[in-house]
Each structure stands twice: as C-alpha cells, then as structure tokens.
Structure 1
C-alpha cells in the first residue's frame, strides 16, 4: 500500500523553454512542495528523492521540477535570471491543485526559491543546501537572498558543506537544521557517526515536522 501516486509527469511551457514536473501526490494533500534541483544535478538527488518518498504520507504532495536547461539536455545551468524565469513559468502548474505551495530547491534551486518567493506568493520556502557563498569565498555572501525570502523558511544544511556551514549562517527569520557530517549533497563519510540512511532521515523528519507546523 502506498500513500502517493508516483511518477505522474507533465511538461510545462515557460519563457525559458519546456520544464518538467514529476508529481508524487498525497492521497489527502493539504500542501504542495514544489522543489527544484541544483546547477550540477537533477531530481535524482538523494534528498529530493527521499522527500518525494516520505512527504506524501504526511499530506504534502511533492512536485519535483526539472528546469528547462535540464530538460534540454544541457550540462551547464544558465544565469540566475534565467533560472528565475523558468521557475516563474512552472508556478501556475504548482498552484493548479488549489493548495498552498511551498517553494523549494536545493543549492541553486534554493536560491531561486528564495529570490522569487515573495512575488509568487509562496506559502513558505524550503532551502536545501543553500549555497551561502562559493567554496572558500565567504566574502561573496548570498545571505541577502535567504533573508529576503519574505515567507517562513527552513534551511537544511550539511555540517561540512563547503558552500556554507551551519554556523556561518546569519541570524534571521529562518529555521536551520544541520545534517551532521553532510557535504553539499548530504553525503556523509563512511567513518562518520551517522549512516547515510540516518542522514536522510534527519532531512525527511525535519521537513515533515516543519510542514506539519505550517498554518
């Protein structure tokens, strides 16, 4: 028995080209989480797959969004403005069920979610592995994007993320959950005090509890 209908995919036309949305729909949904990938990977990322498997049982339909550049088979992400155009274009598909929508993403996708949340009227924002700065360049902070989201925001960050460790994040209106030993992709070393499955459970448990707290 399953709590979700998986792999229902639709193609959505945007001004940046066709995007693709794969729905994992809860039986009795109360929220939609639209979540996109980063600049170096797709919706097969371990955290996105884990959330799509777990959240529908908690009343959250998960829409995994592939940006137009990925659908087109390109290996390099376009400029942030183009990513924002693609995300704006898929938003009507996310709101079509008539439910509050959490705008989410991992890495570059988290930046997109934060930058566009206020204008799109996102119910909340989920930022997975938010790239607070380029590796080794803490002076190139992107904190203003996170702090300007304008909606309840949950950041889930690996303890060893070179793009910004949890302790580097500024105080603000967001919540932050640390995945111990996790890198930018939430991978943990074999000798860490936590297994890969346990690391993923930290993510899914935290997001499930947070979505349950949203009004």
Structure 2
C-alpha cells in the first residue's frame, strides 16, 4: 500500500512516500535522497521494492529544500534538523513497528549516519556513501560511518567519491562496474540490502 504526505519541520515541509508490506511490518526503513536528486532514484526504488517484499515498511523522504523546488542542497545542519523532525513524526505514526532503520543515497546516507543515534535507529543502509569529494581523498568523511550501529555500505567500484573501508559494525559491499548513481543494476544492489536486512533479523526470510 502506497501513500504520500507532508510533514512539517523547522526548515519547511518535507514530503514522505510510504510503502507498506501486505502483513505486519518487521521494521521501518526511512530513506533520504542525494543532494541534487530525488526519492525516485533507481537504487532507492529497487531497495523499496525488495524491502517491502520481505515485510519491511519503507518511507522515502524528500527534504524541504527539494519540496520548495531548490536543487542546491541546504546546509548539513538544516538537513539534519529536518530529517530528525521527520523521523520523530514517523516513529509516532508507526509506533507499532518494532525497529527503526535509516539510510539513503549519497547525501541522504550522510544525514542518516550523522543523526542515527539521536533518532534511535537500530541500523543504517548507506547507498553510494560519498567518502570524499571527487579528487580530494584527504577530505575523508569516514568518521560519519562510526556510529556504533550495524551499517551496510553499498558503493560502486567506479565511484569518484571513493569507497569506504569496512570497520567495526560496518559492512562494505562494492558493486562491480557501478558509478556513484548505482544505475547499472539496481535490482542487484537491492538484493544486497535485502540479504543484509535478513541477516540482521529485520526482514522476513
């Protein structure tokens, strides 16, 4: 079952696209979009389909700056503030779902990591995590992955933003032939996420 809604935040309204499984949800997975993209990116749609099929409720969140029609991303603090407000509302709305998972692609993955502890998330799905700006490996963002929570990173081996190294609690899967957009085989990327969710006990077998 699909539904769309808006949730007010201190940075303006955010839009949510909710897809529920046929039976009771085993977990709630909330996904954010990339800096200049939207929630209809191929990898996000494929992950939604795969997760819903194994009993996970999925909510894709459009940040307020995109709802307002702007392409340039808001500052990190504004993104985190809006995301945290949306997560609080979603937890109330889906209070019967036992587990909250957060994630997204690129910028959305960074927001999910930075706010995971504050939102009470149990795990993180990071698609195309941008380890550093292209050509600037010295500006690493690896510390954002050190949340202490089970985290899945799925990056392409041709991603100019780099590929993080695995760490404590951080599983990294590198997809061959994929760039930053993970567009070549979204279904394969989604299968990696589905299998990880199952392995963590957050999805139906």
Q: Structure 1-normalised TM-score?
A: 0.88
User: Which among 41, 51, 56 is matched to residue 55 of structure 1?
Assistant: 51
Which runs of at least 4 in structure 1 moved beyond 3 Å after TM superposition?
none
Give yes or no for contact 1:37–1:105 (8 Å, CA) kept in 2.
yes
> May I ask how many residue pairs the two structures share in their alignment?
197
Tell me the distance in 2 between the aligned counterparts of 1:201 and 1:49. Answer: 9
Which residue number in structure 1 is paired with residue 113 of structure 2?
A: 114
Higher relative CO (CA 8 A, sep ≥ 6), structure 1 or 2? Answer: 2
The more displaced of 64-73 and 168-177 is 168-177
Give yes or no for contact 2:50–2:190 (8 Å, CA) kept in 1.
yes
User: What SS does the aligned partner of 1:201 have?
Assistant: helix
Which residue number in structure 2 is paired with residue 190 of structure 1?
A: none
Task: Please give the root-mean-square deviation of Cα atoms over the aligned residues, in Å.
Answer: 1.2
Which residue number in structure 2 is paired with residue 66 of structure 1?
A: 62
Tell me the distance in 1 between the aligned counterparts of 2:27 and 2:122. Answer: 9
Which residue number in structure 2 is paired with residue 154 of structure 1?
A: 152
Shift of 1:170: 5.2
Tell me the distance in 2 between the aligned counterparts of 1:39 and 1:135. Answer: 15
Shift of 1:185: 0.3
Give yes or no for contact 1:132–1:169 (8 Å, CA) kept in 2.
no
Question: Which runs of 5 or more residues in structure 1 are unaligned?
Answer: 188-195
Which residue number in structure 1 is paired with residue 195 of structure 2?
A: 209
Tell me the distance in 2 between the aligned counterparts of 1:178 and 1:94. Answer: 31
Q: Structure 2-normalised TM-score?
A: 0.92
